[in-house]
Amino acid sequence: MKSIRTSFTKRALMVGLLAGSGILAASSFAMPTSGTAGKPGCEARHGQKDPAKREAHRAERLSGLKAKLDLAPEQEAAWNIFSSASQTGMHRMGGDRKEMREAFAKLSTLERMDRMQARLEMRRVKMAERAEVIKAFYTQLTPEQQKVFDAEAMPKRHRGHHAHRHQA
């Protein structure tokens, strides 16, 4: 009797392992090996879209925001400053990522740390500039327009649509 139970347990374990490995193998075929423009999937998902498409999307978002804000003529100057600052590429550092990674790999640890600190400072300065432009524009809005701006200006990915990703 003991050998039948042992045999059954071994068979059940083997069937479970085979089924699990089959599911893993099938799911690996479903994952894309490369994303946009031949870039690895991870890079393509982190906003590495075609710059022309990205700028067109940004212009579309800005025009939609302007329409929803229903700006008064005296607010146009503040809008023009805000929208031009939004389109100047403040969001992107630029450069060919592959070349940057190759050059970065050739540096010593201390040189890499210095470069990372310099880029961090550059990002901080750009963020401070952007914050000043937004504050100047925001103060020109009426309370109703501020509510619209608060709701519309936040990127969609930060509006609570991805909360399920962070659950354990």
Which residues span the domain enclosing 150?
52-154
**Quick check: is 36 in a domain?**
no
Burial (CB count within 10 angstroms: exposed 0-12, middle 13-18, buried 19+), residue 115: middle
**Quick check: is 140 in a domain?**
yes
For position 163, what pLDDT does the model report?
47
Which residues of the chain, if any, have pLDDT below 50? Answer: 35, 90-91, 161-168
pLDDT single digits (tens) 144-167: 999 999 988 776 665 554 444 444
Q: Is the pTM of this model over 0.85?
A: no
For position 12, what pLDDT does the model report?
74
- Tokens representing 131? 């914050």
Backbone angles phi, psi at 94, to 5 degrees: 85, 175
How many domains does one find in the chain? Answer: 1
Backbone angles phi, psi at 92, to 5 degrees: -125, 135
**Quick check: is 15 in a domain?**
no
**Quick check: is 5 in a domain?**
no
**Quick check: is 113 in a domain?**
yes
pLDDT single digits (tens) 88-107: 554 455 567 788 888 888 98
For position 73, what pLDDT does the model report?
93
**Quick check: is 149 in a domain?**
yes
**Three-state DSSP state, 96:** coil
**Quick check: is 30 in a domain?**
no
